[in-house]
Amino acid sequence: MSFEFAIWNGAKPVLHALRQAIGCILGPNQRDLKWIGLLLFMGLSIMPAAIAAPTSVTGDLSKQAAIEVQVSLGTATDELKFVPDNLEFVTGKRYKLVLNNPSSQKHYFTAKDFADGIWSQKVEAGKVEVKGAIHELELKPTATAEWVFVPIKPGSYPLRCTIPGHAEAGMTGVINISTGRK
């Protein structure tokens, strides 16, 4: 197998997910023109993420069954911590991160670098669904939100609550994204 074919084979799932996302935003008449323009604009900047995507992922990533992961922002006794505070994800798999806030005060789930390394399909909270780039979620007391995404870029990313004093009191964590290969 040639090197060029291996790169393209690894890039196909990422490019397909990106094209699907663009297709949802644009109408069918503009889809191909905008897709070509976006690829030209992005150039080679997507190749590291595409190479990191596992070649075993096939089909539409937005249709893949989501793996549910639950995280509490704070506790019912108002402890300032994420439970759990160490999250593990694998590139190319679809996740549904269920965030809940059992405490009596609001909290933030802030992980900008993590958010830059994933494809966010949507965030649902109550009767609202948000699509597009998401870097921070605020959960008011007793609120729940679901973040559906596919990790693309492996790495270790800091997680924190940005309310003054919360991170300093221990409301921090780490989000790890691996390729799943050993």
Collect all residues with Cβ–Cβ distance below 8 Å to 2 and sequence separation of at least 6: none
Residues facing residue 68 across a β-bridge: 96
Long-range contacts, 10-14 (Cβ 8 Å, 24+): 10/50, 10/51, 10/52, 10/53, 10/54, 10/55, 11/46, 11/47, 11/50, 11/51, 11/53, 13/53, 13/54, 13/55, 13/57, 13/58, 13/61, 13/92, 14/46, 14/49, 14/50, 14/53, 14/119, 14/152
Q: Which residues contact 11 (CB under 8 A, 6 or more apart)?
A: 46, 47, 50, 51, 53
Q: How confident is the model at residue 5 (pLDDT cuts 50, 70, 90)?
A: very low
What is the Cα–Cα distance from 94 to 89, expressed in whole angstroms?
9
Contact 7, 47 (CB under 8 A): yes
pLDDT for the residue 4: 39
Tell me the pTM. Answer: 0.67
pLDDT in tens, 142-156: 999 999 999 999 999
Mean of pLDDT values over 157-177: 97
CA 28, 30, 36, 42: dihedral to nearest 10 degrees?
Answer: -110
Q: Which fold has domain 64-178?
A: Immunoglobulin-like (2.60.40)
Judged against a pLDDT cut of 60, whether residue 41 lies above it is answered with no
CA distances (Å), origin 48, targets 7, 13, 53, 120: 10, 13, 9, 18
Q: pLDDT-derived band of residue 25, with 50, 70 and 90 as boundaries?
A: very low
Cβ–Cβ under 8 Å, residues 176 and 86: yes
What pLDDT is recorded for position 74? 96
Beta-bridge partner residues of 178: 90
pLDDT tens-digit profile of 111-153? 999 999 999 999 999 889 999 889 899 999 999 999 999 999 9
Average pLDDT, the chain: 79
Summarize the confidence of residues 69-86 as an average pLDDT.
Answer: 96
Which of 8, 7, 38, 9 lies closest to 21, judged by CA? 38
At residue 59, the pLDDT reads: 67
Joined together, the tokens standing for residue 172 give 């921090």
Residue 180 pLDDT class (50, 70, 90 cuts): confident
Which two three-digit tokens encode residue 104? 């009596």
Domain coordinates in residue numbering, the chain: 3-61, 64-178
| pLDDT tens string 89-117 | 999 999 999 999 999 999 999 999 999 99
